[in-house]
Structure 1
């Protein structure tokens, strides 16, 4: 089966993104022979040609007409005089998004939201006058009104420049080709091979099994594959370092594994659901995998090798909260519980916070590890604090940078922890109940 790809899955909706330094319609970068021109009516987007502007007009028209220049000034011009810090800018941008939604009488599309979140303004002072703004020539994602401000930000931006470029390439590729265009190798291990130190090392070892006719550069392919495999690999990373079940087995010896994926979303954990079959491929002793996706936003197939070997893979979807699921007749005791990018703390104290009832149920069994990931170290700390308040737990794996986090960068408009970019499953923690 080496080199073969998994069966096609239903294609998710393609999502268009906005990047302020490239043609909003075709994604072309500016060059010496092709200088991008702004929309003169709103100054919010750029085009590489009159043809692209015409093709995009029906899409851009509603936002353009509701955000036309006033006295020759765009919607960001006045902000520089009254906003002097990053939080102020973020609050101002969110206010603009809400106003735009009210003016249009509908929710904004993702790329429309990003027009406000990633504005074409000076990184240092917020200057928004188009004639004064130039971009970073490498990533076309960060802007300056002067060479002095460019130099002032040079060291900080150098840390994120490549990630901005990679994010842009991923966004454009997935919009043009679709999420399912990424090759996925079926490599069935005859014996258990412990995971290497990082997800990059693991994926590089898998690339040799892919067809050489793929259209992606190596780094791009590794990046996009990491976004698909970070979920099962993050789980496996923890399980290979702790014993599993009441029998305290090593994960390499487990023949049946039941995993509860709590707070699951169809667009994240369940996207490319066959990727969870990778656990069976890398654990030769595993004969049955039962993956239960539990969450209010939850909306199979096996490869030929698994079918021949009689391996059983059960995918179960439960559109409900976890504390409701444990009371059902079809509840099955898990060997592990995992919550990806959990946000246990996000709505703490608010009426819409549903975690307080679920967390005690998740951490009530000493034989069942609870694994959760967070976007950054601050969130990981807060998530653990909330869990500890809800139930008495023992920490098996303190919050740490996850070596099996996704390598696919996403822009963070809030710049939490002073980071321009974040990654899925960036921090990982594991606990178990004390009962």
Structure 2
């Protein structure tokens, strides 16, 4: 059940080959149709043309559409600005307009890869212009004999862009501490971009070694002797996992573990967030000694299923729990139209001590699952929804589920990628009658992934898997 690797960020930005993703020691040529993607060779371009052609034609058609020009130039600033609210509203409106125009031309919904081309289109940090808008403005003003100036990337991070004349205004914004920095030490937007750049190269090196997508699926095999709070002061990804990961990989002592920790956290965030939520939502620690601990994962999809092995970390941190039962419930759970209950393999230590992990897969909404269970339904110790996007993308599938959770008083927590989504999700939970507990959102998740990604349709800011807690209630 391998996922095809989507073009990584540099490929979406035209900084790496859009087919083979090569970026180091290679000469790239832009597609002459859309000017958005680049290729390292004629062979890569020919191989990718069948997939790229529909979106290429859709993007190219925009430049010859007078109505499109009028729409896209509306409210475009004449001077650079560092007003982030204005910039984000502008980029979100522009991205939405471009995507709608492309989908009208495609006569279908854009694929994830096609949507990514729009969402991460390079934009000037302080005026939001794209190369396409610069070309359209030049044509509008009389088609100069020389090609119009293109956006230039920051020479330090190579992931943020600017009109050549706007760098003085952009520099202060780009180099100031960023509020989306994970952990305690604030870093600049430029520094975080450099970290992202390193993570992309790390994922490219890992692709094929651990997972086709470049993800690092790892969890330590050690078992803790006793439960230790994950909500204690000072607990961190580095403290909890660095030594085990270094001995497992292994990484030479002189090499930093940060890229490995960030990569591992992208999946380990799920069991660690579950443990954190259980600790914060329960009145005492009796749950750490239960014979069977049951967790229902709402809105589960491919990511949760493919990363199933990392959930054994819950057993490893709860040595008195004998059975961990996980129910993966969601319309997108692969291959589970008929519910499946599968005993999973455990590590030798868990097997020797009779500790079991049982997974149930249900391709249904959670309220549908509860209804179908009828009197057999047993409330779990925790329900958790990882990054459901209910506030923005999939609101129609969640109201009935939120109502069931609140009505049955099931301990629950929802996570989000970023602040905006968390705030929206929290509002929906409150509207459903949930009394959100202090410290459980909306706010940062101490066990959100430490691997950040530049926010789509933005010129500033980042998001992370489970980066925020939208709300916890019981």
Q: Where on the TM-score scale, by shorter chain, does this alignment land: which range?
A: 0.7 to 0.9
Whole-Å separation in 2 of the counterparts to 1:305 and 1:27: 40
* 2:146 equivalent to 1:132: no
1:127 is displaced (CA, Å) by: 5.2
Change (3 A) 1:236 1:131: same
Whole-Å separation in 2 of the counterparts to 1:251 and 1:403: 21
Deviations 1:209-248 (A, max 9, x none): 313279x97332211211111111011123234536xxx4
Could you tell me which residue of structure 1 aligns to residue 359 of structure 2? 315
Change (3 A) 1:345 1:118: closer
* 2:6 equivalent to 1:15: yes
Q: Conserved in 1, the CA contact under 8 Å of 2:423 and 2:470? A: no
Change (3 A) 1:386 1:121: closer
Give the length in aligned residue pairs: 410
Which residues of 2 match residues 43-54 of structure 1 at below 5 A?
43-50=35-42, 52-54=44-46
1:268 is displaced (CA, Å) by: 3.0
Could you tell me which residue of structure 1 aligns to residue 277 of structure 2? 238
1:76 is displaced (CA, Å) by: 9.5
Deviations 1:349-407 (A, max 9, x none): xxx624332223213455x4222212333433333332233235362534121110012
1:166 is displaced (CA, Å) by: 4.3
What's the secondary structure of 2:359's corresponding residue?
Answer: strand
Which of 49, 55, 64 aligns to 1:63? It is 55
What's the secondary structure of 1:363's corresponding residue?
Answer: helix
Which of 21, 28, 32 aligns to 1:27? It is 21
Which of 304, 309, 334 aligns to 1:274? It is 309
Q: Conserved in 1, the CA contact under 8 Å of 2:292 and 2:323? A: yes
* 2:400 equivalent to 1:357: yes
Q: Which runs of 5+ in 2 are unaligned?
A: 77-86, 136-147, 176-187, 335-342
Could you tell me which residue of structure 2 aligns to residue 263 of structure 1? 299
1:80 is displaced (CA, Å) by: 6.9
What's the secondary structure of 1:315's corresponding residue?
Answer: strand
Q: Conserved in 2, the CA contact under 8 Å of 1:371 and 1:430? A: yes
Could you tell me which residue of structure 2 aligns to residue 3 of structure 1? none
Of Structure 1 and Structure 2, the greater helix share is in: 2
Q: Conserved in 1, the CA contact under 8 Å of 2:91 and 2:457? A: no
Whole-Å separation in 1 of the counterparts to 2:57 and 2:418: 39
Whole-Å separation in 1 of the counterparts to 2:288 and 2:90: 51
Q: Conserved in 1, the CA contact under 8 Å of 2:328 and 2:359? A: yes
Q: Conserved in 1, the CA contact under 8 Å of 2:412 and 2:473? A: yes
TM-score, with structure 2 as normaliser? 0.75
Which residues of 2 match residues 192-341 of structure 1 at below 5 A?
192-195=227-230, 197-212=235-250, 218-243=257-282, 248-264=284-300, 266-299=301-334, 300-303=343-346, 304-327=348-371, 328-329=373-374, 330-341=376-387
Could you tell me which residue of structure 1 aligns to residue 142 of structure 2? none
* 2:189 equivalent to 1:160: yes
1:308 is displaced (CA, Å) by: 2.4
Q: Cα RMSD (Å) of the superposition?
A: 3.5
Change (3 A) 1:203 1:359: same
Could you tell me which residue of structure 2 aligns to residue 190 of structure 1? 225
1:339 is displaced (CA, Å) by: 1.7
1:180 is displaced (CA, Å) by: 7.0
1:152 is displaced (CA, Å) by: 1.4
1:51 is displaced (CA, Å) by: 5.0
Could you tell me which residue of structure 2 aligns to residue 4 of structure 1? none
Q: Conserved in 2, the CA contact under 8 Å of 1:133 and 1:143? A: yes
Whole-Å separation in 2 of the counterparts to 1:428 and 1:292: 21
1:278 is displaced (CA, Å) by: 1.2
Could you tell me which residue of structure 2 aligns to residue 7 of structure 1? none
Q: Conserved in 2, the CA contact under 8 Å of 1:38 and 1:44? A: yes
Whole-Å separation in 2 of the counterparts to 1:73 and 1:168: 36
Whole-Å separation in 1 of the counterparts to 2:434 and 2:61: 57
Could you tell me which residue of structure 2 aligns to residue 149 of structure 1? 166
